[in-house]
Structure 1
Amino acid sequence: MKSMTGFGRSTQLVDGLQCTIEIKSVNARFLDITIRNPKQLNCVEHIMRSRIQQYLQRGKVDVFVTLDDYSEREKEFTINRVLKEQIQHILVNEGFYHTESQVPLESVMAISSDWIQGKEADVDEAVLTSLVVTTIDEALESLVSMRTHEGLHLQGDLLNRLSQMEDIVQYIDEHKLVAVENYKLYIENKLVDILAAHTVSINEDRVLQEVALLADKTDITEEIVRFRSHVVQLKNTLMKEGPIGRKLDFIIQEMNREVNTMGSKAVDIALTDRVVQLKCELEKIREQVQNIE
């Protein structure tokens, strides 16, 4: 299992072209990819997205790409003659020179260098693709390694919390019958006192029948059985490879439903206290599961 939180980085240099890719990810419901790269890499952005989708299934993923050219590649120069002549004309009008032909290039450059621009020769798209794929694969492997390490840490924490919850449920299971019997005795005494206070004749069998029905509603055996079954499901799922976050989230919802039912049925203060502990541990597990892919 993997966490959705991680960071990966890689730098590759090929033929004077250096590509650096940094990838960070946090938890998200789906796979949400944002790529920030130079314009010259727009042609390979779809390839980067495809590579990310092969490595990751969930998470908000931010990708930062830089490309530096350290080669001695030839440049193509273009001259904006209109802008150059405008600068010469301004210098003549301001009285620095008598004619435009007298204006030296140094003076034109001092005003603005925008009239002459250099553009590096285009890099072959196949070279860019190969460079980017190599770089992003290494960055993704680093990211996945960190997510896997974090996932193992989360797995250990969750298994420990599940063990604590099993101990709590064991206590509840061992004391549930005593709680039911105590509640049954409490109801029986109450009914007898009420009926006696109103001088109503008492049908003892009828009273015992009603008491049994009321007490039965406080029995939480079925909820305990289902809760333990969900714990087993959760443990088995934690041991699986691949994305498991959504399944874990569903199981936790079912566990929470059983705990809520236990809380509504529990009539003993000790059991109620244990149910509250279960809820607290379950909430901590739910928060951790939000970070699992």
Structure 2
Amino acid sequence: MNSMTGFGRSTLIADGLQCTIEIKSVNSRFLDLNIRSPKQVNSVEYSIRKCIQKSLHRGKVDVFVTLQDVDDREKQFLINSSLKNQIQNVLVAEGFYESVQEVPLAAVMSISNDWIQIKDDEIHEESLDSLITETTMDALGALIYMRKSEGVQIQKDLLERLLQMAAIIDDIYNHKDDAVLAYKENLRNKMLDYVGNLDITISEDRLLQEIAIMADKTDITEEIVRFRSHVVQLTNTLKKDEPIGRKLDFIIQEMNREVNTIGSKALDISLTDHVVQLKCELEKVREQVQNIE
């Protein structure tokens, strides 16, 4: 189980070129990948995207690529002779020099240095792709390690909370019959008072039948069984070594639905307190699940 939050960085050097790649990720419903890189990386950017998409499934992922020359790389000098000659002729025409041959390069460059350009030797795409891919994999490995480490901590916290919720639902189960009996007795007394005020008579069997029908609507056995089943399912899912975030979202929605139903049926104050505790724990679990890939 992995978290969606992490950071990884790697720097490698090859053929006089240093590549640094930083990858950071935060929570997101889907995989949202953004790459910021210099122009010379555009041709091999697909390799970065492909590496990340193979390993990450959810999260907002930002990738920063930096290229820098190291050691002595061959340079190319491009001379614009036409512009150079034009500057020399202007200096002669203005009387600074008597002939073009007398005009020094320093004078030409004091006017403009646009006539000379220095460019690095072109980087072969195959070499660049190899360097970018290897650096990406190193940075990605560091990111995944951090996501796994945080995932372990989240898993531990969630499993502890599931044990707490299992204990709470057990308490609810152990007191549900007493709560139903108390509800029946309270309902019986109210109905007798109501019938008495109307000065009518009703058979005891009919009264008990009506009470049983109404009390049956407060039974929460089915909801408890389903909630326990979801606890087991959630526990088993947490132990899987695969992307589980979306599945956990769905299970928690189902658990929350069962808790709401229990809360609407359970009229006893002690059960209501337990329902509130369950809702608090479920909310904490839901918040943690948002961090899981």
- The 2-side partners of 1:96 and 1:232 are apart by 95
Deviation at 1:16, TM superposition (A): 1.6
**For residue 227 of structure 2, what is the aligned residue in structure 1?**
227
Counterpart of 1:207, as a letter, is: L
Unpaired runs of at least 5, structure 2: none
The TM-score, its normalising length taken from structure 2, stands at 0.93
User: 1:3 is paired with a residue of what secondary structure?
Assistant: coil
**For residue 267 of structure 1, what is the aligned residue in structure 2?**
267
- The 1-side partners of 2:90 and 2:285 are apart by 73
Deviation at 1:252, TM superposition (A): 0.5
CA deviation profile, 1:59-87 (whole Å, cap 9, x unmatched): 11111111111142222222345654665
Deviating 4+ runs (over 6 angstroms): 89-93
**For residue 96 of structure 2, what is the aligned residue in structure 1?**
97
User: 1:67 is paired with a residue of what secondary structure?
Assistant: strand
Q: How does 1:191-202 map to 2 (within 5 A)?
A: 191-202=191-202
Deviation at 1:197, TM superposition (A): 0.8
**For residue 30 of structure 2, what is the aligned residue in structure 1?**
30
**For residue 240 of structure 1, what is the aligned residue in structure 2?**
240
**For residue 180 of structure 2, what is the aligned residue in structure 1?**
180
Q: How does 1:146-157 map to 2 (within 5 A)?
A: 146-157=146-157
Residue 233 and residue 107 in structure 1: after superposition, are their counterparts in 2 closer, same or farther (change >3 A)? same
- The 2-side partners of 1:180 and 1:114 are apart by 92
What is the count of residue pairs matched by the alignment? 292
**For residue 77 of structure 1, what is the aligned residue in structure 2?**
77
Unpaired runs of at least 5, structure 1: none
- The 2-side partners of 1:92 and 1:38 are apart by 43
Deviation at 1:289, TM superposition (A): 0.6
CA deviation profile, 1:74-109 (whole Å, cap 9, x unmatched): 22222345654665677679x683678365432332
Q: How does 1:98-137 map to 2 (within 5 A)?
A: 101=100, 103-137=103-137
**For residue 254 of structure 2, what is the aligned residue in structure 1?**
254
- The 1-side partners of 2:265 and 2:35 are apart by 52
Q: Which moved more, 1:163-172 or 1:224-233?
A: 163-172
Deviation at 1:5, TM superposition (A): 0.6
Does residue 51 in structure 1 map to residue 51 in structure 2?
yes
User: 1:9 is paired with a residue of what secondary structure?
Assistant: strand
The TM-score, its normalising length taken from structure 1, stands at 0.93
CA deviation profile, 1:10-51 (whole Å, cap 9, x unmatched): 111112211111100111111111111111111110011111
- The 2-side partners of 1:248 and 1:111 are apart by 69
Does residue 10 in structure 1 map to residue 35 in structure 2?
no
Counterpart of 1:73, as a letter, is: R
